[in-house]
Chains A and B, each alone.
Chain A
Amino acid sequence: MKRIFIDETICSGCRACEIACVVQKEGQFGTALARIRIEKNDVDGLDQPHVCQTCKGLPCVKSCPTGALQWDEVIGRVILIPEECIHCDLCVEVCPFEAIWIHPGNKLPLLCDLCDGDPACVKRCATGAIIFVDKSCSTFKAR
């Protein structure tokens, strides 16, 4: 199954992925509702992409007290059932990749849905710092 992999050592920190994500999800230009974010440290030149890695441990799903977050085996990603969410934000706290944020409007978790298998952020990345590959893929190993 394909997953997003990140390589911060070649991320230029341009944040085009954030814009591409917001365009895909909201149809406008902005960054605040992005499901991927680059944490930047200008002093040390660090650019750390944060995005759902669809990790097998599923801490977000396990932490969810109401079952609002669930793992969908068929599509290979976490899904949200909005009406079950009680806005406890536990998923934000437990995500080891710091890749869940809260929508400032509806207060629901902003969750990456991998753009139904063709992530807009990956397509926009100029450096190859974000890739969408199968874990066993040879391209990934080559990197």
Chain B
Amino acid sequence: MNGFGGNILRVNLTEGSISHHPTDEVITREYLGGRGLNVKLLWDELPAHTDGLSPENLLVFGVGPFVGTLFPGGARFNVSGMSPQTGILGDSNAGGFFGAELKFAGYDQLILEGKSEKPVYLMIKDKTVELRDAADLWGKDVWETTTSIQNSLRDPRFQVATIGQGAENGVLFAGVFVNLNRPAARTGMGTVMASKNLKAIAVRGTQMFPVADMSRFLELVNQLDEVIYNHPEYELRYRLGTTKLIKALNAIGGLSTRHFQSGRFDGADAVSGEAIEALYKIKSKACFSCTIPCSRYLVIEDPRFPGLKLEGPEFEPLAGFTVRVGNSDLALGLKCVDLANRYGLDAIALSEVIAWSMECYQRGLLSSQEADGLDLNWGQAETLLTLIHKVAHREGFGDLLADGVKKAAEKLGRGTEEYAMHGKGLEVFQADVRSIKAYGLGNAVSSRGADHLRSEPWFEFSNDPEEGVRRYGIPETAFRLKYQGKGRVVKHFEEMAAVSDSLGVCKNTYNNMEVLDWEGTADLLQATTGWKLSGEDVRIIGERIVNLERLFIAREGITRKDDVLPKRFLEEPLPKGSGPSTGSVLELDIMLDEYYQARGWDLETGLPEEDKLKELGLETS
């Protein structure tokens, strides 16, 4: 099967049984792979209201047609299931080298069902698949587990996806980690893995796969190279990766400072990507087959943190453990990122629960005594380090935080719910959506709970009204503080994000740098798979995936009323000192109306209309 590994691997952990199935070309034509293929499987096989931590839940890894090819950054895998954190769609995505190795082993999808009696890990070497005892690995962190498995298999080319102690201890926002520092962190997929007593997956693939027209593929990749190497963002991304955003968002007043109490952070320069580059960067690093090495290997010489070295971080964990928690000590922030990685936790959720605690303390809603005597003033080093340990081990006050901010606030009560910064139970990212309206809408409607990576509607930063008219018929779409047309913008970028996650490529290149449009994607897909598709056909695949995800979460009770963000964003203007964003709030309802209209969804319920479903081949009856 051109462009695919050709097989789906199904492992029943209860029975210890393993089966191979051919990849279905009818389904991949409609959903591509990765995220699309995964949600299709969940929709078909997972009963409504499945408990995320029950053996009945499924954990599904998927890769797409561009994974393992020369497509720059064709490296990504998607992991999906019912989220134990949010009770809706669980879905997370990561790069590194695991996805390509899985495909070279011959697999497009790996389905894990049931629950093992004892801790095990899954060893995949091409067609050889075994469940192996993991008693010795249980309790080990992400780094220890990865190196231990590679050593015991005597082959460093085994790629390992693992969980840390956080997942084992039932922290609801624990992720699946590859290459030590690269998490599919969101929505608790690591927690699901732990609930199945599955510590890790080690994969080694020595197969090859063909594409339909290799010379055409290479010709198109050469064109893509030209676009990438000449892209205005290339140099900065090569140097700083997404950490470039600390300074950029500070400039517009859009950072998550001290839990969204200001859009600007006085320590921004000190914790910026530029500061990391100057102080700690050893060299640029890349995911599999990527020509934009946006990651960085760092060695931090600081007597407080002996031996501290790590790859990354991305903007999100960096800002989380600096800006969001009011810490301007860069080495401390990087130490926190390292701990989160080793324990296997979602840095966005973790930085939110800590920042939320600090704000509750600031407002007199929480005492130091209730937090095990910790000093909850902003940026306290000892508190940050201790709380990360406590959350990972569910110790003391950490036990409350380990359920995520929504549940923690519900449990604590006394008005702290108002300061819990989440959407549909998932913690919001490190930018203030009052300063970027389309991102606000994207977070509100996101199918996995508040998240920026479901849409990444960067176009609102373009300040190019003519292009706004050309794309969306509305000049205001090009400006971040305007509302008009943002429904259309988010719809467009949601479809791009869905296609990106399903092809298995990186959103930095595919969405943010827009290196391929729909037509270009269709051409490359045809060279890969042989399918004759138009650009519009590819867009419709994205639309189909977004709609199916909406059906999936609607089945769990989600409607328009849940497409909402914390009151702070909607009612409190961004305080003075937030630069050009000062005074902004997020007016969600007008954008929501426009969005549902653009989507063909009912304005009142926010659910897909039957006509739309029929158009996409998703009839429910």
Interface size of A by CB at 8 A reads 32
Given contacts A30-B104, A31-B104, contact A15 B68 (CB under 8 A): no
Within 8 A of B (CB), among A1-45: 9-16, 19-20, 22-23, 26-33, 39-45
B136-159 vs A, Cβ < 8 Å mask (1 yes, 0 no): 000000010011000000001000
Q: Is the pair A41, B156 in contact by a Cβ cutoff of 8 Å?
A: yes
A86 contacts B by Cβ under 8 Å: no
Q: Is the pair B289, A15 in contact by a Cβ cutoff of 8 Å?
A: yes
Q: Is the pair B286, A12 in contact by a Cβ cutoff of 8 Å?
A: yes
Q: Is the pair A14, B287 in contact by a Cβ cutoff of 8 Å?
A: yes
Which residue of chain B is the closest to A16 with respect to CB atoms?
Answer: B289
A68-93 vs B, Cβ < 8 Å mask (1 yes, 0 no): 00000000000000000000000000
Chain B at the A interface: mostly helix, strand, loop or mixed? loop
Which residue of chain A is the closest to B284 with respect to CB atoms?
Answer: A12
A55 contacts B by Cβ under 8 Å: no
Which residue of chain B is the closest to A31 with respect to CB atoms?
Answer: B104
Given contacts A12-B284, A16-B291, A41-B156, contact A29 B211 (CB under 8 A): yes
B311 contacts A by Cβ under 8 Å: yes
Whole-angstrom distance between the Cβ of A10 and the nearest chain B Cβ: 6
Instruction: Please give, as numbers and ranges, the residues of chain A lying within 8 Å of B299 by CB-CB distance.
Output: 45
Whole-angstrom distance between the Cβ of A123 and the nearest chain B Cβ: 10
Contact of B289 among A10, A14, A33 (CB under 8 A): A14
A104 contacts B by Cβ under 8 Å: yes
B340 contacts A by Cβ under 8 Å: no
Instruction: Please give, as numbers and ranges, the residues of chain B lying within 8 Å of A28 by CB-CB distance.
Output: 208-211, 214
Q: Is the pair A32, B283 in contact by a Cβ cutoff of 8 Å?
A: no
Which residue of chain A is the closest to B229 with respect to CB atoms?
Answer: A126
CA gap between A44 and B147 in the complex, in Å: 12
CA gap between A123 and B209 in the complex, in Å: 22
Q: Is the pair B207, A30 in contact by a Cβ cutoff of 8 Å?
A: yes
Which residue of chain A is the closest to B150 with respect to CB atoms?
Answer: A42
Q: Is the pair B293, A126 in contact by a Cβ cutoff of 8 Å?
A: yes
CA gap between A39 and B147 in the complex, in Å: 15
Q: Is the pair B147, A43 in contact by a Cβ cutoff of 8 Å?
A: yes
Q: Is the pair B156, A45 in contact by a Cβ cutoff of 8 Å?
A: no
Given contacts A26-B208, A30-B209, A45-B297, contact A16 B309 (CB under 8 A): no
Listed residue (B156, B179, B291) with the most chain A CB atoms within 10 angstroms of its CB: B291
CA gap between A71 and B156 in the complex, in Å: 32
Within 8 A of A (CB), among B287-301: 287-293, 297, 299
Q: Is the pair B285, A13 in contact by a Cβ cutoff of 8 Å?
A: yes
A66 contacts B by Cβ under 8 Å: no
Q: Is the pair B69, A29 in contact by a Cβ cutoff of 8 Å?
A: yes
Within 8 A of A (CB), among B397-428: none
Whole-angstrom distance between the Cβ of B95 and the nearest chain A Cβ: 11
CA gap between A102 and B289 in the complex, in Å: 23
Which residue of chain B is the closest to A124 with respect to CB atoms?
Answer: B70
B546 contacts A by Cβ under 8 Å: no
Q: Is the pair A16, B218 in contact by a Cβ cutoff of 8 Å?
A: no
Instruction: Please give, as numbers and ranges, the residues of chain B lying within 8 Å of A104 by CB-CB distance.
Output: 206
Q: Is the pair A43, B143 in contact by a Cβ cutoff of 8 Å?
A: yes
Listed residue (A15, A30, A45) with the most chain B CB atoms within 10 angstroms of its CB: A45
Q: Is the pair A33, B179 in contact by a Cβ cutoff of 8 Å?
A: no
Q: Is the pair A14, B291 in contact by a Cβ cutoff of 8 Å?
A: yes
Q: Is the pair A45, B285 in contact by a Cβ cutoff of 8 Å?
A: yes
Q: Is the pair B293, A12 in contact by a Cβ cutoff of 8 Å?
A: yes
B343 contacts A by Cβ under 8 Å: no
CA gap between A68 and B363 in the complex, in Å: 79
Question: What are 12 A-B pairs with beta-carbon distances under 8 A?
Answer: A12-B285, A14-B286, A14-B289, A14-B293, A19-B70, A29-B210, A29-B211, A32-B104, A33-B208, A42-B180, A45-B309, A126-B286
Q: A13-B286, A39-B156 are in contact. List 14 more A-B contacts (CB 8 A).
A: A12-B284, A13-B285, A16-B289, A28-B210, A28-B214, A29-B210, A30-B68, A30-B207, A31-B100, A31-B104, A32-B207, A44-B309, A45-B299, A104-B206
Closest 7 pairs between A and B when the two form their complex, measured CB to CB = A30-B208, A45-B297, A12-B293, A32-B206, A14-B286, A126-B291, A12-B286
